[in-house]
Structure 1
């Protein structure tokens, strides 16, 4: 298994961290006692100043990044908003994001809709709002980098390999995975990445976003909103996700396993610099099991 110090992560999964999993004893298919490591999920209520925005089911790690990323991806935090504080209360299970100027989102709250994401994801208002202004850079992505990323990410110790029932999202640059976030909802994992980028002033134009989840409309919208021109997954696509990717000029690559992948949008960015037949087969012990829906 790859050692973490061999992969230049700025944030990597910590599957043994306290509070992320719990041992639960049951029985196996033979009726014998069996202990499993099970993901802990808890509610987290996000406030923007004095207004309660949403309660999400999430893991216990990086709640501040989740709150910042969620608000940013929903258009509630804009580039010119000054964030003065992000206060997390573990006992109350709340995060309060404070800005220099309060903003009224009553209309968006009234138009709340439920998404296709697991863990009851929530978006507000028109999902297409703001996409008309998105201008993604005309960057390139090498197939050799895609193959390298797939191998590195899938050999990294993670909550998924420890317990399953979790999704991962990784912010990448070239062949290097930089920030690896996990959560019970793939949209939450993306929001954590967005929050990290916002807090640290990281731009998305030269990045790739890798996810273990389905390439749905929401995932494409979030990626485009974050300014990231390439979205990659081991999983498959939805038709609307492909339509939106083509509309905004985002490169959408799915079913990346071993040497195989499918690109359904943004083919112009692909630089096919590695013969697929030279790509090693994915070791079965590292192959991820079917992702949780």
Structure 2
């Protein structure tokens, strides 16, 4: 059984001594994604939930938005390949979304939709859901309860999709982007709407991460880590509530704080 981590003999410095010890190290692999028998791209990732990751990646890039077009998906573990059959896929036409060129594509100058397809796929989030201020760090607790691979190795990022205090989907991966693609792919394959839900996350909230969450139509992001200024500006403009450094009963609200309601 693949445990998704490996044992390594290491030298550990502790209390002034260098000792022999053993550490668990997270597994990393590269997989080539083939669309209709043609190699499309490669992704470096944790080698599990690969179907969800590949589908979520294609969904996030705007290449696969209609589930009826997905005819088959198959993972060749020994060859590090993910084979996907998409009805009517036209590589030359549809890679116009994937082969990104820099553009200023947002109506407001301060927001950097620097890829044309991001502007096409993102829309301002008008959701009126809210969460109590005292519940923010409790959402992080829900994430941490499931983070078994992180607990063993410290080498992965984690993300959870939460609704009404319950985890709908949890994913781990060496890549921040991959965790969100895995969640998007899981929801796409299982006909689960991502609207009016919360993403809880361990990674840095950069512009690319916020844009992915914007495409997922999720109104609230909670992360243990820091945002970037561009991540904050995009969240502000796109109607996303962004909470960072959520740990130890403390957090910052960087944008659209109206969704965080006082407990008393």
Q: TM-score, normalised by structure 1?
A: 0.78
Indicate yes or no: 2:80 matched with 1:90: no
CA distance in 2, matches of 1:193, 1:49: 23
Query: 37-46 vs 156-165, which deviates more?
Result: 156-165
Match of 1:101 among 88, 93, 96: 88
Indicate yes or no: 2:139 matched with 1:139: no
2:146 is paired with a residue of what secondary structure? coil
Give 5+ residue unaligned stretches, structure 1: 1-16, 114-123, 275-293
Shift of 1:108: 4.0
Indicate yes or no: 2:146 matched with 1:162: no
Indicate yes or no: 2:198 matched with 1:220: no
User: Counterpart in 1 of 2:110?
Assistant: none
Match of 2:49 among 41, 48, 62: 62
Is the CA contact 2:124–2:237 (under 8 Å) kept in the aligned structure 1? Answer: no
Pair 157,239 (structure 1): closer, same or farther in 2 beyond 3 Å = closer
Give matches, 1:61-210, under 5 Å: 61-79=48-66, 82-103=69-90, 104-111=93-100, 125-126=115-116, 128-131=118-121, 133-210=123-200
CA distance in 2, matches of 1:79, 1:246: 29
Is the CA contact 2:123–2:215 (under 8 Å) kept in the aligned structure 1? Answer: no
2:233 is paired with a residue of what secondary structure? helix
Shift of 1:241: 0.5
Match of 1:49 among 6, 12, 36: 36
Pair 157,216 (structure 1): closer, same or farther in 2 beyond 3 Å = closer
Is the CA contact 2:62–2:117 (under 8 Å) kept in the aligned structure 1? Answer: no
Query: 182-191 vs 146-155, which deviates more?
Result: 146-155
1:28 is paired with a residue of what secondary structure? strand
Aligned length: 248
CA-atom RMSD in angstroms: 2.1
User: Counterpart in 1 of 2:107?
Assistant: none
Shift of 1:109: 4.7
Pair 209,98 (structure 1): closer, same or farther in 2 beyond 3 Å = same
Indicate yes or no: 2:6 matched with 1:22: yes
CA distance in 2, matches of 1:86, 1:215: 30
Q: TM-score, normalised by structure 2?
A: 0.86
CA distance in 1, matches of 2:99, 2:138: 44
Is the CA contact 2:122–2:211 (under 8 Å) kept in the aligned structure 1? Answer: no
User: Counterpart in 2 of 1:5?
Assistant: none
Is the CA contact 2:201–2:223 (under 8 Å) kept in the aligned structure 1? Answer: yes
CA distance in 1, matches of 2:64, 2:217: 15
CA distance in 1, matches of 2:150, 2:31: 21
User: Counterpart in 2 of 1:254?
Assistant: 244
Pair 135,183 (structure 1): closer, same or farther in 2 beyond 3 Å = same
Give 5+ residue unaligned stretches, structure 2: 103-113
Shift of 1:91: 1.1
Pair 68,164 (structure 1): closer, same or farther in 2 beyond 3 Å = same
